[in-house]
Each structure stands twice: as C-alpha cells, then as structure tokens.
Amino acid sequence: MDDNQRSLLSLIVPVFNEEESIAPFLEIIDKELSTLDLELEVLFVDDGSTDRTFEKIVLAAEKDQRVKYLKLSRNFGKEAAMTAGIDHACGDAVVPMDVDLQDPPALIHEFVRYWREGYDTVYGMRASRKEDGRRKRASAGMFYRVFNRLSHTTIPPNAGDYRLISRRVIDIIKNMPERNRFMKGIFAWPGFSSIGVEYDRPARHAGETKWNYWKLWNFALDGLTSFSTWPLRVWSYVGGVIALLSLIYMVFIILRTLVLGVDWPGYASLMSAVLFFGSIQLISIGVLGEYIGRLYIESKKRPVYIVEKSTSKKGV
C-alpha cells in the first residue's frame, strides 16, 4: 500500500443508551487521531436507544462531517449493530470499537502501521484482565480454550471486537448471510494474515456495561453452535458408550441368572437407571433443540437489522 495515499478509515461504533459517552468519545478521537495520515469516518450505529443517545449523535453529525450514523428501528443486539456498521462503512479499512473508551483510540496508530505492512486483520489483545472479577476471568479463559478445541476456526484468546479489518476481509464478511451472528468467529473465519497487539484495557469512561452473566452465557452458546457441530457429534459417542455398557451389563445379568438362578432387582437401582438415562435423553434433545432452533431462524431469512434513519449508504 502506498503510504502517501490518504485512504479512508471507518470507525464502527455500536451504541445503546450511551448518551453520556458520545461527546467524550469524539473529543478523545479528535485528540488521539488528529495526526493519523488517513481520512476518517466515524459511523455510529444506534441500536434502539431509549435515551438521548441518538439526539447527541445527530448534533455531533451536524458539527462534524466525519460523523455518520445509522439508527436501527429497535434493539437488535450488538452483533447485529456491528453487522449494520460493516455493511454501510465505506472505508478501505474498518475498526469496530466501543464508545466507552475501554478500546483506547491511540492503539489505532499501531493497527494502521501493521495494516500498511500488509496485514489484513490487526486485533487488540488484553494484556491482562485485572478489571474483571475472578469468575469472569476463569469463565472467559475456559470459553476460549473450549471454543478453539472444538471449532476449526481459531479465535485469539483475550481478543475482543476491537481490531482493524481490511476491505477484502470486509467484503467476505458481507457475503456471510447467517442471522445468528458471532462476530469474533466471523472476523476470524476468512483467514488471511493477522497479528495481535497487546494493550491494557482501562475502566469505562461513562455509563454502565450492558452485559451480565446470563447474556455472556448465551453469547458463548451462540459462538459454539455457530462454529462447531461437536455438541451434536458428542452424543453419538455418548450413545455408543452407553450401549456398550448396557450390553456388558446385560451379559452379566444373563450369566448370573444362569449360574445363581432368577433374582429380583431392587427398586433403587431400577429408578437410578431410569433417571440416569432419562436425563441423558433430555440433555441430548436440548442440544438438538439448540441447533434446530437456529435452523428455524435461518430458514426464515429475516433481515439481521432494520435501518430507520441513516446518513450513510451501504459501503462498496
């Protein structure tokens, strides 16, 4: 890439009830990226906010032509909001980032440097997770280990959505039509050259996090079912092992009956077996239900998001 060419960099910023964060975010962007040798587009995606977030974005857009916005018709979720931003961003490279300034804008200089060296994806990696509680650190570490072991698509541990993505990766992502969006996996799936940049994640500048443990659990479940069929395949192995154990036990019962005569099994052992196998069946049906539910959603082919208002056309 020609270093003298002023390419366009698009920042995709999904927001939901973040009225307190809009102005500080833009101030920091102006301060940290003023020396960046690129044209800049700041694309806010208002994911159905119920406070004055959208009003603040409109005011900012009137003052600064670099600020663009999409207003979704309701809350579709962060993954859908990022998808909307990716579809409409016009940049030669795109950086999805949070408005709460936990994704330090100064790191974008490092992202751009590696991009100009030829990397298609430059992702931010947390140097530590000290700001997270012990349970959250443990669960996050376990998720990355399990996901990377079960899926053919590898996602870097401690890497979030904050990254720079080249236009050719964006063009591939735009051709991935699934409705259940797990963006960390989608970002990693196209491949190409990538590199990580470590950084210390600061505390939120304003507002409160919209994530809780229930949402994180469902997020992890979406990730595993979107990029791995192992939860389905494992029940074939479980069924095979149980069938083998049942056959061994049946042979044991027949031989014991032939040698010692007929006896009457106890009620406790019978109920234990019934409850055990019943629970196995319910769990396996639940896993099947997760995949069937996703197939049902995909088969409807509903749009991932609906744009109500926009100052940005779809990127080319």
Confidence (pTM): 0.69
Listed range (29-33, 113-117, 218-222) with the worst mean pLDDT: 218-222
Range in 103-112, 120-129, 188-197, 282-291 with the lowest mean pLDDT: 282-291
Residues 6+ apart with CB under 8 A from 162: 95, 96, 97, 98, 103, 107, 123, 124
What is the reported pLDDT for 217?
59
Instruction: Check residue 53 and report its DSSP letter.
Output: H
Tens-digit pLDDT profile for residues 163-218: 899 999 999 888 888 777 778 778 888 878 888 888 877 665 555 555 555 565 56
Nearest by Cα to 159 from 132, 185, 180: 185
What percentage of the chain reaches a pLDDT higher than 90?
Answer: 15
> 77-81, 109-113, 123-127, 180-184 — which one is most confidently predicted on average?
109-113
Higher pLDDT, 223 or 298: 298
Handedness of CA 184, 188, 193, 198 (dihedral sign): positive
Q: How many CB atoms lie within 10 A of CB 316?
A: 6
Fold held by 8-210+304-310: Spore Coat Polysaccharide Biosynthesis Protein SpsA; Chain A (3.90.550)
pLDDT at 45: 93
Residue 59 reports pLDDT greater than 60: yes
If you ran DSSP here, which 8-state letter would residue 297 be given? H
- What's the CA gap between 28 and 90, in Å, rounded? 22
